[in-house]
Amino acid sequence: MSDIAIDTNANAARGRTGRLVVYAIIGAIGICLFLAPFLFPDVRSQEVAARICIFIVLVASYDLLIGYTGIVSFAHTMFFGLGAYGTAIALKLMGPGWDAILLGGALGLVVSLILAALVGLLSLRVKAIFFAMVTLAAASVMAVMASQFSDFTGGEDGIIYKVPKLFSPATKLLTDEDGKVLRIFGAKANGKMAAYYFVFFGSLILYFIMLRIVASPLGTVLEAIRENEMRAEALGYRVVLYRTAIFCIAALIAAGAGILRAVWLKYTGPETSLSFAIMIDILLMVVIGGMGTMTGAIIGATLMSLAQFYLKDLMQLASEATAGIPLLPELLAPDRWLLWLGVLFILLVYFFPAGIVGTLSRKGGHP
Amino acid sequence: MNSITSAFERYGGINLLPVLLALIAFLLIGSPSTWVTLTVAGLAMGMMIFLMASGLSLVFGLMDVLNFGHSAFISFGAFIAASVLAALTAWVAADSVILNLLALLLAIAAAALFGLIAGWAFEKVIIKPVYRDHLRQILITMGALIVAEQIILAIWGGSPISVPRPHFLSGSLIIGDVSIELYRLFAFVLGLIAYVSLYVILNRTRVGLLVRAGVENREMVEALGFRIDRLFVGVFVLGSALAAIGGAMWAGYETLITAAIGSEMMIIVFIVIIIGGLGSIEGSLLGAIMVGLMGNYVAFLAPKMALASNMILMMAILLWRPYGLRPAVK
């Protein structure tokens, strides 16, 4: 009896230190992202930082579905893409202006909401696995349509457009006495910085909305549905309605992330916002970070984005080093990095289904 | 309304749907010869899709396992068949039907053999540890699919590979002003053979009886002392081999294949088993034929809507019957 008590105490203590470690990492990532324009002024790092911000939102919204409610959807990129394409098409047709972003973004959000409600009500009634298949089919149909209606979406080439003047690199936010762009710690206070902070604060707001949702009674009901659907239904909660509601919310947030992405990149195409590769990225990030934890999204998205940008360089080296051996250089070529991520993914799901955060703090995820 | 429904049921019920589809298409297309060509193409495509879908549906029905990696067998089957045919170019191009047929059968057999072995290994390594855990099943089989696709890219490269078609199947049959590609006839016949043998195995043999009973109620059959898990391995392996054969046939049909073939077909296979209902081969056949016909008709009438039309068909059927047309499991 006392042994068990000691054991739980030890576990709780380990969980506590683990949680502290997690919060320390989150804090560090948060500070780095907040000060990114000053800490990492070069262009490539800026791209990585903005990508991390956007993907944190995308991954956290996906975690609302897979981690908190236990529904597997493959249509998340569809909503992401709707937000991005809505904004992009409006900016292309109406010219660079805030009205275009507002109108296009709103349109993307509305279409996402309608589609999500439709798919949800149609297929969340039946088995979870049905839902996974239906969303997969819906997402790929959407991707094919986007590439076929090319007069509208630019097809495979995507759309290039201009964003409001505030975000163009030539805009001077602050000037010194000579009339040149003011430098703060070596970073130019230009439009690029404004665009980055637009993305950063946009992501931050969306992330806080999700934290609020998770902490609300709605979040508790969702976890109850994940743990035992029958019991939740028996307690009087309309499971289908709750599921559809969270699916719609997640879709809206994903579309919001899409708007941020479209404004940041000034380009929208299948590769950046609609392809299945992004869906795989999201899945990997959720699983690596830890399902059912909002903090997991931050760690997963950061780790994967860094890996994607810098792992390829490493693989290039490995491929050259093994040039003499048959097949091995082929497998180690930088283009094959998805192969290794796939293997990593399978191993993670086997051995650490709770992900980094779940393993460290010993909570969340599935037993 | 009721009399219409009962008449509909009396003349075959949901089995009439493909016929209905063909009739509507006939009115829209207008030209009978085009309609015949399209219908034959649709039926042939449906049969090939049936080969790919039947295994997945049965595996799900029997063990509640949905294998998102199923399409890996389709693409491996396609690429292996392509390699075998390329290696036997002399036989393939020869003017003798026997040599042609031999090359084709060798290619299909190689694909099927791969399906058998890889299916067995896949079941042991990937599926077994995650029985009864849907979330991890979906994630792990998805991961396996990614890995398989990347392996194909590493072995065969990213550029499209052309598949030589045997000489005796490369022409078309011309009756009046209707022309029918021989390969499509061959695909249709092969699919029909597969369906009939599956049907006979499931409905006329003892093993088939056990499989059907297992789909209906697994616990009960286990309580009676039968090892459903062993049966399941058998069904899984067979389903993988069928998918590989389907992939091999599809490679010959398309004549130009890329590593994306698996994920492309996967969507169609999913639509088919959702339409047909999980766990029954009759449902899979019905769904496959409807999807094949729909795909071909719409590709002729409004080319851009081909894939979307199947999606709409699926949505409509889900609205009408949330579990598909002929589900064996609910």
B113-167 pLDDT per residue, tens: 999 999 999 988 888 888 777 788 888 888 898 889 888 988 888 788 888 888 7
State residue A43's pLDDT score: 81
How close A5 gets to chain B, by Cα (Å)? 31
Which amino acid is it at A60? Answer: A
The confidence band for A178, taking pLDDT boundaries of 50, 70 and 90, is confident
Nearest CA in chain A to B307: A141
Q: State yes or no: pLDDT of A338 exceeds 90.
A: no
* Contact check, Cβ <8 Å, A335/B140: no
Q: State mean pLDDT over A252-278.
A: 90
* Cα B49 to chain centroid, rounded: 3
**Stretch A231-251: mean pLDDT:** 92
pLDDT for B21-55, tens place per residue?
Answer: 888 888 888 888 888 888 998 999 999 999 999 88
Residues of chain A in contact with residue B308, where contact means CB-CB under 8 angstroms, are 141, 144-145
Shortest distance, CA B142 to any CA of chain A (angstroms): 9
Question: For residues A273 and A81, is the Cβ–Cβ distance under 8 A?
Answer: yes
Express as a percent the part of chain B with pLDDT over 90.
26
A122 → closest Cβ in B134, B142, B318: B318
Residue A234 pLDDT greater than 60, yes or no: yes
Contact B177, B187 (CB under 8 A): no
A37 band by pLDDT with thresholds 50, 70 and 90:
confident
What mean pLDDT, rounded, does chain A reach?
A: 85
At A367, is the pLDDT very low, low, confident or very high (cuts 50, 70, 90)?
Answer: very low
pLDDT top residue among B171 and B269: B269
Q: Name the interface residues of B facing A (CB cutoff 8 Å).
A: 60, 66, 68, 126, 129-130, 133-136, 138-140, 142-144, 146-147, 150-151, 153-155, 158, 263, 266-267, 270-271, 273-274, 304, 307-308, 311, 314-315, 318-319, 322-323
Tokens of B137: 């099943």
pLDDT of residue A11: 66
Q: Considering only residues A316 and B161, tell me which one the structure prediction assigns the higher pLDDT.
A: B161
Of 2.170.270, 1.25.40, 3.30.200, 1.10.3470, the CATH number of B14-320 is 1.10.3470
Percent of chain A residues topping a pLDDT of 90: 34
pLDDT at A264: 92
User: How many inter-chain contacts (A to B, CB under 8 Å) are there?
Assistant: 105
- Residue in B142, B158, B263 nearest the CB of A283: B142
Residue B67, pLDDT score:
85
Q: Which two tokens stand for residue A16?
A: 């506590």
8 Å CB contact of B311 and A336: no
Mean pLDDT to the nearest integer, A150-175: 81
Residues 144-183 of A with CB under 8 A from B: 144-145, 148-149
Q: What is chain B's percent helix, strand, coil content, to nearest 5?
A: 80, 5, 15
Q: Do A346 and B144 touch (CB under 8 A)?
A: yes
Kindly report the number of other CB atoms within 10 A of residue A12's CB atom. 10
Could you tell me the pLDDT band of residue A5, with boundaries at 50, 70 and 90?
low
Q: Looking at residues A137-147, what average pLDDT do you find?
A: 84
Q: Which residue of B has its CA nearest to A331?
A: B154
Does A280 touch chain B if contact means CB atoms closer than 8 Å? yes
CA distance B120 to B122: 5
Mean pLDDT, rounded, of chain B: 86
Please say if the pLDDT value at position B224 is more than 60: yes
Task: Name the residue facing A126 among B304, B319, B322 (closest C-beta).
Answer: B322
Instruction: Give A206 or A39, the one with higher predicted confidence.
Output: A206
The answer, yes or no, to whether residue A61 has pLDDT greater than 90, is yes
- The domain segmentation of chain B, as residue ranges, is 14-320
* pLDDT, average across residues A145-172: 82
CA dist., res. A219 & res. B125, Å (int): 36
CA-nearest residue to A136 within chain B is: B267
| Helix orientation angle between B17-29 and B32-63, rounded to the nearest 10 degrees | 150
Confidence of residue A6 (pLDDT cuts 50, 70, 90): low
DSSP H or E stretch at residue B172: strand B172-175
Mean pLDDT of B210-229: 87
Closest chain A C-alpha to B150 CA, distance in angstroms: 5
ipTM of this complex? 0.79
Summarised one tens digit per residue, pLDDT across range B76-101 is 999 999 999 888 888 877 777 888 88
Which residue is closest to A140 within chain B, CA to CA? B267
Average pLDDT, integer, range B193-218: 89
Cβ A137–B60 below 8 Å, yes or no? no
pLDDT band at B3 (very low <50, low <70, confident <90, very high): confident
**Distance from the A107 Cα atom to the nearest Cα atom in chain B, whole angstroms:** 21
Q: How far is CA B322 from CA A73, A125, B21, in A?
A: 18, 8, 20
Query: Higher pLDDT residue, B157 or B330?
Result: B157
Q: What is the pTM of this model?
A: 0.83
Nearest to B248 by CA among B60, B67, B61, B103: B103
Task: Tell me, yes or no, if A206 comes closer than 8 A to chain B by beta carbon.
Answer: no
**Position with higher pLDDT, B276 vs A361:** B276
